[in-house]
Amino acid sequence: MLKAKISKLEDVPEAQRALYKKLEVEGGAAVFLLDVEKVDGYELADTQGLINGLQSERQKSHKLAKYGTITPEEASAAVTKVAELTEEVAALKKGGKGLDERERAELKRVHGEELKVERERSAARLDEVRRLRKEVVAEAALVSAGFRKTGITKMMKPILAAEMEVVEDDKVMGEGRFKTVVLGRNTDGTMVERIVGDGKGGTRVMTPLDRALELAKEKDYSEYVSVDEPPKKEAAAPAAPRRAAPTPAQSNGQGQGGPPAPFNGAEVIRRAYEKKRAAANSRS
């Protein structure tokens, strides 16, 4: 199977190297992309760019009725605020100088209520961020897998999104970075990230696109996949019947009955040539 992108031509057989074009990457080593001609709007595309673009537009357009426009940065800031309030309460508990028991109890109650409200708001914001991200990623994966019709994509989106979860990336914990994973049920009933083969004898984490491609092959959903049809060839027009060469009499319009025969250039040239040859013979 042809690869969409390779880092060097030596990664593919020599017979396939002419199919790739070199792409210079700013600040990095050049890569080679499969040179595919765009046909009827379909082309080799960077699906990650599509995912990022869809996510950006969704974040701008969706609003929570209670909390306003939500972005991952705002949700991360809210979590930070909860941590700061928690530290303030801890400091008050440790100090507490100049406050009597009643005042400390009231202060503790007020901060406790503030923390509860802030936690609920943060949880709501994070839930909305996760929901929107799952929809964006699921839609992009389905379109890439062939579910291109608007109605079909809308129908399939909740099916794929139900198997996905948005979690904070372990590699950048605490920075508000998220990743979307596909979950499956383990033998003990717990939900874990699904693992697939990497094509090289190893394994890797399943992506939403991997799962969308699986759905495209399943009996219940394969009929909804858009298939690129080759352009139809126009049927060749039937050849016109060839007309028989007219006789000399017909060429002169002297045939028996009917109108004069149509002009035949080949016959006129033939007769002129014969007259010229006869004249040349008579002079000799």
pLDDT in tens, 182-199: 988 888 888 888 898 988
| Residue with more model confidence, 19 or 271 | 19
Beta-bridge partners for 22? 32
pLDDT winner (highest mean) among 95-99, 105-109, 224-228, 253-257: 105-109
Identify the bridge partners of residue 32 per DSSP, sorted by sequence position. 6, 22
* Whole-number pLDDT of residue 220: 85
Residue 139 lies in a domain: yes
Other CB atoms within a 10 A radius of the CB of residue 70 amount to: 20
Residues 132 and 195 in one domain: yes
Q: What is the mean pLDDT of residues 123-150?
A: 88
How far is 196 from 216, CA to CA, in rounded Å?
Answer: 17
pLDDT at 209: 92
In this structure, of 7-21, 124-138, 161-175, 221-235, the range with the lowest mean pLDDT score is: 221-235
In which element (H, E) is residue 106 found? helix 101-145
Domain count, the chain: 2
Tokens at residue 248, please? 């000399």
Q: What is the pLDDT of residue 283?
A: 67
Could you tell me if 11 and 26 lie in one domain?
A: yes
Cα-based distances in Å from 229 to 4, 40, 42, 232, 233: 21, 10, 11, 8, 12
Q: Are residues 64 and 196 in the same domain?
A: yes
**By residue range, what is the domain housing residue 10?**
1-44
- On whether the pTM is more than 0.95, the answer is no
Together in a domain, 94 and 13 = no
Query: How confident is residue 30, by pLDDT bands cut at 50, 70 and 90?
Result: confident
**Residue 101 above 50 pLDDT?**
yes
Q: Are 157 and 176 in contact (CB under 8 A)?
A: no
Better-predicted residue by pLDDT, 141 or 234: 141
Cα 48 to Cα 54: distance, rounded to the nearest angstrom: 10
What pLDDT band is residue 229 in, cutting at 50, 70 and 90?
very low
| Burial of residue 76 (number of CB atoms within 10 Å: 0-12, 13-18, 19+) | buried
Answer yes or no: is pLDDT of 278 > 50.
yes
Q: Are the C-beta atoms of 88 and 111 separated by less than 8 Å?
A: yes
Whether residues 93 and 127 share a domain: the answer is: yes
Residue 227: helix, strand or coil by DSSP? coil
Check whether residue 139 and residue 63 sit in a common domain: yes
Domain boundary among 224, 242, 260: 224
> Percent of the chain, pLDDT > 70?
65
Q: What percent of the chain has pLDDT over 90?
A: 6
Q: What is the pLDDT of residue 90?
A: 73
Q: What is the mean pLDDT of the chain?
A: 75
Cα–Cα separations (whole angstroms), residue 2 to 202, 271, 272 = 19, 66, 66
- Domain identity same for 185 and 53: yes
Mean per-residue pLDDT, 143-157: 87
